[in-house]
Amino acid sequence: EPEVTQTPSHQVTQMGQEVILRCVPISNHLYFYWYRQILGQKVEFLVSFYNNEISEKSEIFDDQFSVERPDGSNFTLKIRSTKLEDSAMYFCASRGPPGEKLFFGSGTQLSVL
Amino acid sequence: GENVEQHPSTLSVQEGDSAVIKCTYSDSASNYFPWYKQELGKGPQLIIDIRSNVGEKKDQRIAVTLNKTAKHFSLHITETQPEDSAVYFCAARMGKLIFGQGTELSVKP
């Protein structure tokens, strides 16, 4: 069964450093998302991406965040200067037309020290 | 603003009993309501979903009901098994998916 793949599974970084979280969505999907989940809390929407541009973003997704689809398979989330409060599990998700079903990856646990 | 409320936050049942988790949503334009199961260290996995033109949907031991007028939807798990133990999230599509706070379900053998 096709799945969304995320790398790395764990990322430890120092405050102020840049991190790039990587995702390979399901191959025929066109809509891509990043969500995050702080330990013990709900899954929060960060950004949606379609047709090579951001279609919607949340208040969390400030100027420190960016997304990119550098080629036909990868979808990345970059945090330019990490803060302690960026520590969370980050999930990539994708869906394809015309369906609604959103499929999630296993997540990247980001720890900012 | 856009919001999904989920109750209870924790639920403990005996194996074989039923479990019910309830959610309410704020945006009456929402038209898609999935439920996800999240096991420890894993991403949310879609277990069942319902669209706004349907009142109930069932898949084996899992069923979801939707009351559009009241903006409520519920997950019903019958004949619970220990492997049903996980965190369950409801969600509603308001453009993007908005998640509830999650319910930690424990099924005791």
Distance of CA B20 to the CA centre of its chain: 8
Interchain proximity A107–B43, CB inside 8 Å: yes
B32 close to A (CB below 8 A): yes
Question: Is it the case that residue A98 has pLDDT exceeding 70?
Answer: no
Nearest 5°: phi and psi at B92?
Answer: -135, 140
Three-state DSSP class for residue A55: strand
- pLDDT for residue B41: 81
Q: d(Cα B36, Cα B34) in Å, to the nearest integer?
A: 7
Question: Is it the case that residue A13 has pLDDT exceeding 80?
Answer: yes
B51 close to A (CB below 8 A): yes
Q: d(Cα B55, Cα B73) in Å, to the nearest integer?
A: 9
- Min mean pLDDT across A29-33, A38-42, B36-40, B88-92 is at A38-42
A106 close to B (CB below 8 A): yes
Mean per-residue pLDDT over chain A, rounded: 93
Mean per-residue pLDDT over chain B, rounded: 94
